[in-house]
Structure 1
């Protein structure tokens, strides 16, 4: 009996020793936890609840994203630096203006020689004495150059008109003066004016839309004069000043087509514009009602 008890005790002792040794070995080989669950967060765990909460708010980044959307919302990216504004006396501004002036001069010369379609931006750069890639620092297309010229001409016409205008004069006389100033500028650069007229007939051309936008601005200037005339009772009360400005613009612009094709002289064109204005006013002036 004692032998059997001793044998059982020895067996239990050996089992206990093996268990202790196994536990120590497993403990020494285990990797310390690093708040990472190899098979994903357990259902009901805090990590799972946070993940679900973030997902419902749309703050979880898609798989493979380097940072979570939640992290980005807490730490937004630093704002990009604004482009440095140059001082008025900075030499780079002066050099840029000179370069752009050379480009515009070269473009006008090539537009006259080859026509708008025949003048490439590369040829303009060569004529201006700069590399083909350098010109893109100043302009992006030859259409931009043409629009610059037309915009400047339009602004100059309005500036000259306002310099000598009296807003209390009869509306018809004010319109005549504005159209005369515009006429003088347009006939002084026949080639540029002709290019603009032809561009509007090519609806597929990129420049057509831009030229038509400039035409809309001219219509707006005419409408401003007409609006003042209606306030001064120079026009009938029921006259639509916008439609009247459009009619007047298209009458004068249409008169320039035979002139651009060399069929009439500058003076004949001016007289045609005056006649169109007189005819229009005989139908819309307050005295005729």
Structure 2
């Protein structure tokens, strides 16, 4: 479902998704969830796209969450198969997704950011899950992801009170990957993307896959011994890139990645 409120672009292996309702703090309408599902489907299926950046239009907000004037509270508002914002329950996406957070990032907007692999935030960013203040619950992944990413005791205060979390506190809690001045956000994200794109595609994807899969294993020993059984592990071991990297290093030249 196309939406004028979701803009996409692709350049040099970077796929950018922009939430485009700046006058409404980029709050999400039902149609935007479906458009986001399609955008992430495109990113996942196109081998030329190596990393995804999601950001909000304007300089006031990343996303203020769901536009409550357009959502039904009886559970009848439809969500895509991959969950809130087309990402919250997309468990098979092995390519990295970066949230570039430039201001207000609350409610469902914060849940979207927490669903990303990295959060690069402006020093002016403000986070929070204020759902209890309006009788709701952050069931789009916010409750579970914040506990996992920040730790139980640190997460419970903001979860139960619905209070705001500054960018500096978010960095200390661990869910903000990088904290940068507001006027450096775009450059910081672009630099991070360039570093990722410069690496071997299969190695990047397998690294993410193993990291996420490993978190679900009961022990470190299980993760270490079980990783070699992953189909992606065997695909990487047999790939041209796995041979090209060491060869290029030994020959003191830039590697030519094939993605296979």
**What interval of TM-score do these two structures reach, taking the shorter chain for normalisation?**
under 0.3
Which of the pair is proportionally richer in helix?
1
Higher relative contact order (CA 8 A, sep 6+): 2
Which of the pair is proportionally richer in strand?
2
State the TM-score, normalizing by the size of structure 1.
0.20
Larger radius of gyration: 1
